[in-house]
A and B are shown apart, each in its own frame.
Chain A
C-alpha cells in the first residue's frame, strides 16, 4: 500500500455536470500529479501540483482544473462533463530529494459519465 488515498472510489455523473475528485498524498510528499486512464489505455498526464502551484500540464482542456492545499492534499475538478471523460482518474504523489522521480499511485476514482 502506497499511503495515497483517493475519494470517492466510484462516481456516476451525467453529461454537463461538474465533478470534484480528492487525493491525500503520502506523508512527506509535496508533489501531486493527476492522470486519466481510459479503459484499455495507459494513463495520461493531466497536471502536477508542487507546493500549491501548478507545475506542468498535459494536453487537457481548461475545464480540467486542480488545487493543492497546504497539507499537500489535492483536488481535481472537471466542469461540463463529456461522455469521453469516463475513465479511471489516478493521483500520484512524490517526495523531494533523490527519489523525486518515483510516483506512488492511489487506487483511483472510477468516473462514469452518462
Chain B
C-alpha cells in the first residue's frame, strides 16, 4: 500500500537558519503530494501542494518539488522564524477515485530558537 516516510527526530534551529525536512513516498500511479503544518492545539493547515512530477509547491517562503525519479518531496525554507515552530506532515493522496484519502508521514517537530 501507499506510505510516506519523513526524517526522524525533532529538528531544532536558530532563527534565520536554512530548513530541510526530508520526505519520501511509495505509491502506485500518480499521487498528489502535500505538506501540512500543525500548530500546538490546532488541526492541520495545508502549507503547499504539488500534483504532478516536477511541480514546485510554495507558500510563506516554504518550497517543495515533486521528484518522481527519487519519489521525494522535501520541504525547504531559506530562513526560518520562531513562528515556524510547529509539526510538519508530508502526505500523499492517490489519484483516480481515491482522491482525498490522505496517507501521512509520522510528522517532524520543528523548534526555532531566537
Chain B residues, CB < 8 A from A2 = 43, 45
Chain B interface category by residue count: 20 to 34
CB distance from B73 to the nearest CB of A (A): 14
Compute how far the CA of A16 lies from the CA of B15 in the bound complex, rounded to whole angstroms.
48
Interface string of B97-110 (1 = CB under 8 A from A): 01111111111000
Query: Which A58-113 residues have a C-beta within 8 angstroms of B?
Result: 58, 90, 92, 94, 100-108
CA of A92 to CA of B89 in the docked complex: distance in angstroms?
Answer: 15
Interface membership of A44, Cβ < 8 A: yes
Q: Is the C-beta of B46 less than 8 angstroms from some C-beta in chain A?
A: yes
Q: Does B44 contact A (CB under 8 A)?
A: yes
Give the residue of A101, A104, A107 whose beta carbon is less than 8 angstroms from that of B32: A101
CB-CB < 8 A to A25: which residues of B? none
Range of interface residues on A (Cβ < 8 Å): 20 to 34
New contact pairs (15) apart from A41-B107, A45-B102, CB-CB < 8 Å: A2-B43, A33-B100, A35-B102, A40-B106, A40-B107, A42-B105, A43-B104, A45-B103, A56-B98, A56-B101, A58-B101, A101-B32, A103-B93, A107-B41, A107-B42
Question: Which A residues lie within 8 Å of B105 (CB)?
Answer: 42
Q: Can you name the residue of chain B whose Cβ is closest to the Cβ of A50?
A: B100
- Name the 6 nearest CB pairs between A and B, nearest first: A42-B104, A105-B43, A105-B44, A107-B43, A101-B32, A42-B106
